[in-house]
Amino acid sequence: MQCLMPRQVCRTRRIPMTRPLYPPEAWPRLMPAALAAGYCGEGSVESFRRKVGVLYPRPVTPKGSRQRWLREDLDKAILALAGNPEDMTTFDAASVL
């Protein structure tokens, strides 16, 4: 069975890949640091954590839980890096075709 997680997260098998095999709609809404790093295209969790609070949003920490990042917050930060933070336009296949 093929590992569907980013290389930094996949501990069961070492499968070289440059990006996760998740389709865009399959990413969880709340992500631990390793998944958030992969989602943002960072090379390592450490690199991602260094940029938290600067380029990327701070995590949410539900009471009694670990740090998690909201996918929507990460999307906004990525769009801000591209220079259009307000443009959260979503397209479906019908509008593109």
Where are the domains positioned within the chain?
29-85
Token reading at 36: 């958030």
Residues 15-69 pLDDT 10s: 454 555 666 678 899 999 999 999 999 999 999 999 999 999 999 998 888 999 9
Give the separation between CA 77 and CA 1, rounded to whole angstroms: 34
With contact defined as beta carbons under 8 Å apart, do 56 and 71 qualify?
no
Chain centroid, CA 44 distance in Å = 12
**What pLDDT is recorded for position 65?**
87
**What pLDDT is recorded for position 87?**
56
**What pLDDT is recorded for position 2?**
47
> Higher pLDDT residue, 40 or 97?
40
Residues 73-88 pLDDT 10s: 999 999 998 886 565 5
Q: How far apart are the first and last CA of the chain?
A: 34
Question: For residue 26, what are the CA distances in angstroms to 20, 35, 67, 91?
Answer: 11, 12, 20, 16
**What pLDDT is recorded for position 1?**
43
**What pLDDT is recorded for position 18?**
55
**What pLDDT is recorded for position 13?**
52
